[in-house]
Amino acid sequence: MRTLYVKFIVITIGMMFISFLLAFVISNTYYQHQLKPYNDNKNTKIALDIAAFVESHPKISLTEYLDSITKVGYQICLVDNNGNRTFFGAPFRNKSLSNSTQQNVLNGHIFHGILYFPQGTFVTGFFANELNNTIGVPLKYNGKTFALFIRPDIKFLFNEMHILFGWILGIAITLTIIMVVINTKYLVKPISNLTKATKSLSNGDFNVKLDVTRHDELGELSHSFLRMARKLEQMDEMRKEFISNISHDIQSPLSNIKGYTDLLEIDSISKEERVQYVSIINGEITRLSTLTKQLLLLASLDKNEDIIKKKTFNLGQQLKELMRNYQWAVSDKDIMLGYSLPDIEINGDPSLLQTVWDNLLSNAIKYNKPNGSIEISIDKKEETVIVTFEDTGIGMSDPELERIFDRFYRADKARTRAVEGTGLGLSIVKTIIDLHGSRINVKSKENEGTTFIVELPIR
């Protein structure tokens, strides 16, 4: 994570540097194409005014006058007919100037050195302290012709500003780097904590703590991570619970089968006892078969959605056939079974949906009370059909409702001791409903009953 911390700082400072370079290039380009003509025209007018003043006042001292001009921020070079140069004010960094240029100005032409100064990518012409970067005008004084070359003394005019801007730039860069370092630490620290939390999860420690007080993306990520950790912890608990339950569910029938098989080997048992023992053995085998079938079905549903073989079938007829199959169980518990099952055709997998209805009805019978009731209904609503299973059984608490579709989850142990089950049935129901692109909702109150509502698309 330290690498990410350093990378973030380096990238931010690099972006600042690149932004500075781009800003400089853009500003320089703007100067070359927009400000340079304006600057050349302004300084040309000043040079012509100086020359006009000298020509209209022949009695003034030329050197004193030009020297006074330099005091207000100009650099001057005066060239006579013989090519002799006299400099006034701050020295030029580069004093090269062609003889033809000097002669051209002496002949009465204006030299626009500022306008035609070569363009440079990283050197703004305005700051180039060169004799070529001047304005040249002819000047006549006491019958003599001179070439006057003039340019603003940038160092003189902006010396204090240079210092001020230098301090501003230096302080701004320093403060920016400090804030980037602090802000980077603020941004990277939650990621470091997430890395530690991830390592804790990988080691099986689900008791992780993260800062969830932030209201940005990292705060949302922390919330999501904690939800994931709680879910993983829940799944780990369910896995352990499943191993315990499934071990019991397998071991118990096997122990019974082994015990009653040993009893069958006794020659002295009666025929009635032998029939009873065989019946018990067959029942235990059926329990094991049901368990393995449910595990295989759940595995198949997980592996491939193509397991669904949809076709059009009559949902009402399917549910009526299901009730006929369970008539004996309903009668055995004195349960009153009511229904409203119109003939409605839907498109789905009849075999898998049969598993759904079978699980819901068997649960309604298992957990119902003696002399209770079960209501099954089908309602058509636009392009969907709603199937409802409502019973007057023992119901469920809110914590149980939250986990009712979790795999291998069994409700209150006191409730399930009297009724055998694998904890897989409702998980299979939920998976099949999801694969059909449908929804299932549950409403339940303890000691009052439970209602399962399945909403299926007709097509």
The alpha helices in 137-270, defined as continuous H runs, are 154-202, 217-264
pLDDT at residue 361, as a whole number: 92
Per-residue pLDDT at 186 exceeds 80 = no
CA distances from 347 to 178, 247, 344, 441 (A): 65, 39, 10, 21
| Helix (H) or strand (E) run with residue 11 in it | helix 2-30
* Sheet with 373-381, side-by-side order of all strands: 336-340, 373-381, 384-391, 449-457, 439-445
pLDDT at residue 124, as a whole number: 58
When mean pLDDT is compared over 225-239, 252-266, 383-397, 414-428, the highest value belongs to 383-397
Look at the chain and count its residues: 459
- Of residues 174 and 217, more confidence is placed in 174
pLDDT at residue 196, as a whole number: 80
pLDDT for 341-400, tens place per residue? Answer: 999 999 998 988 998 999 899 899 988 988 899 999 999 888 899 999 999 999 888 888
pLDDT at residue 46, as a whole number: 93
pLDDT for 277-303, tens place per residue? Answer: 888 888 888 878 877 877 777 777 777
* Confidence grade of residue 215 (pLDDT, cut at 50, 70, 90): confident
Token pair for 439: 């929804």
Quickly name the fold that domain 307-457 has.
Heat Shock Protein 90 (3.30.565)
State the burial class of residue 121 (Cβ atoms within 10 Å of its Cβ: 0-12, 13-18, 19+). exposed
pLDDT at residue 24, as a whole number: 76
- The set of residues, in sequence order, having a beta carbon less than 8 Å from that of 86 and lying 6+ positions away, is 63, 77, 78, 79, 80
Residue 82 corresponds to which amino acid?
A: N
- The set of residues, in sequence order, having a beta carbon less than 8 Å from that of 410 and lying 6+ positions away, is 241, 245, 416, 421, 423
Distance in angstroms (rounded) separating the CA atoms of residues 445 and 21? 71
- Of residues 95 and 287, more confidence is placed in 95
Residue 76 three-state SS: strand
pLDDT for 431-442, tens place per residue? Answer: 889 888 889 999
The two domains 217-301 and 307-457 share their CATH topology (first three levels equal): no
Residue ranges of the domains in the chain?
2-159, 217-301, 307-457
* Confidence grade of residue 416 (pLDDT, cut at 50, 70, 90): very low
Per-residue pLDDT at 92 exceeds 80 = yes
Is the distance from CB of 220 to CB of 192 less than 8 angstroms? no
Please state, rounded to an integer, the average pLDDT across all residues of the chain. Answer: 83
CA distances from 87 to 24, 74, 284, 350, 398 (A): 32, 11, 118, 105, 97
Residue 42 corresponds to which amino acid?
A: K
pLDDT at residue 417, as a whole number: 38
| Helix (H) or strand (E) run with residue 135 in it | strand 135-141
Is 217-301 in CATH node 1.10.287.130? yes
Q: Model pTM? A: 0.48
Per-residue pLDDT at 122 exceeds 60 = no
Per-residue pLDDT at 237 exceeds 70 = yes
* Confidence grade of residue 105 (pLDDT, cut at 50, 70, 90): very high
Question: 2-159 has which CATH code?
Answer: 3.30.450
What is the mean pLDDT of the segment spanning 448-455? Answer: 93
pLDDT at residue 274, as a whole number: 85
Per-residue pLDDT at 402 exceeds 60 = yes
Residue 75 three-state SS: strand
pLDDT at residue 100, as a whole number: 92
pLDDT at residue 49, as a whole number: 94
Which residue from 389, 311, 382 is spatially nearest to 345, judged by alpha carbons? 311
- Which of 56-65, 277-286, 399-408, 437-446 has the lowest average pLDDT? 399-408
pLDDT at residue 162, as a whole number: 60
**Strand 311-314 to strand 135-141: parallel, antiparallel, or no bridges (unpaired)?**
unpaired
